Structures are given as C-alpha cells and as structure tokens.
Amino acid sequence: MKKILVTGSTGNLGRAVVTALNTKGFGVRAAARTPDKLPAAAGVEPVRFAYEDQASHAAALQGVDGLFLIAPPLDAEAPAKLAPIIDLAKAQGVRHIVFASALGVDAVEQAPLRIVERRLMASGVPYTILRPNFFMENFSTGFLAPMLKQGGIFLAGADGKTSFISVLDIAEVAAVAFQRELTGKAYNLTGPEALDHAKVAGILSKVSGKKIAYQAISEADMLQGMRDAGLPEGAVHYVGVLYSAVRAGYMAAITRDVETVIGRTPIAFEAFARQNAPVWA
C-alpha cells in the first residue's frame, strides 16, 4: 500500500485530499502544525509539519511514496518555503509529487506558485501540477465565510466571472493522479460554469432563504479591509493580484480537465450551495 504525505491537511483542500486518498486505499500521513488537533481516522497517521521548521520535514517525509504539496495560503514567500521540501523529498526517495498550484500562474513567470512549479519540474522527481480556480468552499468554510455571515459579499471583483471549483473535485483529481501515476502533466481545474459574484449571491440567497447581496467595492477599500482584519501586507498584495485577474476576466475560463482525469463533470455551484445551505441560513 502506497503512503502519501499530505501537507496543509487542516485546510479545506488538504482535508479533502486526505479523505479522497484514504477512500482509495492509500496510507495517508496527514501533516499539520498541531497534529493532535486532527480528527482520528483509520488509515490516517497524523504527523507534525511546519513549513518554516525544516527539522519537521525529514520525519514527515520518511518512508512515504508520494507527497501532496500545497503552499501556505496567500504567501508570497512560497518559493523559499517549498524549495527545500522538494529537494528533501527527492533526497528521501519520494517517487511522486502532486503540487496544488493555481489557475493562470503559468502565464506569469514571476508568480510565486509558478516559481515553485518550475522548481518542481526541474527537480527530477515525477510530478503532477494541479492548477485549480477559486474554491467554492471559500464561501462556506473559507476566507469569505465571515463576510457572508454579515449578509453580503464585498469584493473588488466588478462583474468579472469565475469558474469556481469544489475542493472535493480537486481532491479526487489528486487521488487519481497518484493512483494512475499521471506524471509529467499539468491540469487546469475549473468548475463547469463561470459566474459573477452577483449570480453567486443570488444562488446563495435562494438556497439559504436569507438575503445575500453582492457589493462591488474598490480595490483600495477591499485591501484596506483586509489590513484592518490583520492580514500581513504580503497577503494583502496577493489578494489584490487575484481579484485584478477576476476583473480582467482571466478566471472565467472553463476546462474539461477534471472530467478528463476522473471521468465525470465537476460539481456545479448551485449543487454545492444546496449541499451546504445550512451554513448560510
């Protein structure tokens, strides 16, 4: 039985990947800064792992066959943090790295996640790169959830559309990539439709029975709000870049890569919303 180390295992995507791999019969080592907070699950071994603590990396990687690698969220310093992990994985004989990147970074060579992609591709370790669009779960359990509890979506997205994707579909692609050894490939992962935030707000209102409105705000106001919420300046700048891409229409692309890998269409936003309706009620 192959064993896979999953970084970021307490986040939305990492948790989904742990579950998907476990369901397919892989041994899973779930990496977390505080592993005792991970829920107990048969076939899942919690292990301490902190990106900035290189002493934790070797033990976490010991004896694993594969690595699901995800960067800390909104971190411009991702290349410096992930490069040593890639190098150590190679030194310790890891045979497959699946890296969670982001849609569109291959068009911007200086983007932090693109720099990590290039480092991974040059490493000599068999790899798979996943480039998902914005997560649907951002609205339910991610960084937008507190905003929605206040009754609205306040973002500098203008009327730009996004082909949101569920982490469940991304995780299934990751698990199949390990299962079928889909190495040397990059997949651009999107949902089946592109929606603007007004449409998203309408769907959430319909399924929750609660009025949720979208208010397009200026980039300056959005970024200042994030500073006021305590985000570091690097993360604030990162968010600004992301939503400038939304406004420019770059996040509206729709691909069939999910279907190509897992053999079914990805979940639509309204179906996701119905499944999670109690969150917004």
What does the domain layout of the chain look like in residue ranges?
3-133+165-188+254-263
Nearest-angstrom CA–CA distance, 120 and 127 = 7
Return the pLDDT at 256.
98
For the chain, what percent of residues have pLDDT higher than 70? 100
**Sequence-distant (≥ 6) Cβ neighbours of residue 77 within 8 angstroms:** 112, 234
Place of tokens 């449409």: 199
Nearest-angstrom CA–CA distance, 252 and 161 = 5
Confidence of residue 40 (pLDDT cuts 50, 70, 90): confident
Return the pLDDT at 185.
97
Confidence of residue 150 (pLDDT cuts 50, 70, 90): confident
CB atoms within 10 A of CB 147: 17
Cα dist. 243→19, 88, 169, 173, 236 in Å? Answer: 30, 34, 23, 25, 11
**Judging by DSSP bridges, how do beta strands 44-48 and 127-132 pair with one another?**
unpaired
b/e for 95-120, b at 16 or more Cβ within 10 A? Answer: bbbbbbbbbbbbeeeebbbbbbbeeb
- CATH level 2 (architecture), domain 3-133+165-188+254-263: 3-Layer(aba) Sandwich (3.40)
Place of tokens 């990805």: 266
Mean pLDDT over the full length of the chain: 95
Cα dist. 57→8, 108, 227, 280 in Å? Answer: 13, 29, 31, 38
Return the pLDDT at 56.
95
Q: Which residues pair with 186 in a beta bridge?
A: 129
Provide the H-helix boundaries in 6-101: 12-23, 55-61, 78-91
For the chain, what percent of residues have pLDDT higher than 90? 87
